[in-house]
Amino acid sequence: MSVNTLIEGPVARITLDNPDKRNAFDDTIIASLTEAFEKAGSDEAVRVVVLQAAGKHFSAGADLNWMRAMGRLDAQQNQQDALRLATLMQAIDQCTKPVIAR
């Protein structure tokens, strides 16, 4: 899955862009979104962040193949994975700009 970030003047548009998988989350998307929100939040020219998705669906949640792979990890690896997701949620929650989910 890919994440595209486009800054148009004061608006940062972060787009989930894998409509074939209904924009489902996996470890790559979590890392990309975290980075995009941290970058947009620290950009002084940005006044608002719009989180949007390509295709018909915003997001189907977690990618099932990724979830199956997570089931084979040990407790420490699962904890690290959960912390990465928590870091993403924290980056969105603590973004210094208003965030609009579109």
Average pLDDT over residues 1-29: 92
% of the chain beyond a pLDDT of 70: 99
| pLDDT on residue 2 | 87
Average pLDDT over residues 65-72: 90
CATH numbers and ranges of domains, the chain: 2-101 (3.90.226.10)
Task: Please state, rounded to an integer, the average pLDDT across all residues of the chain.
Answer: 94
| pLDDT on residue 71 | 87
Which amino acid belongs to residue 35?
E
- Please name the helix (run of DSSP H) or strand (run of DSSP E) that holds residue 28, with its range, or none: helix 27-42
Average pLDDT over residues 78-89: 94
- What are the tens digits of pLDDT across the range 21-55? 999 999 999 999 999 999 999 999 999 999 999 99
Q: Give counts: helices (H), strands (E), the chain.
A: 3, 4
| pLDDT on residue 62 | 92
Is pLDDT larger for residue 95 or for residue 67? 95
Distance of CA 10 to the CA centre of its chain: 20
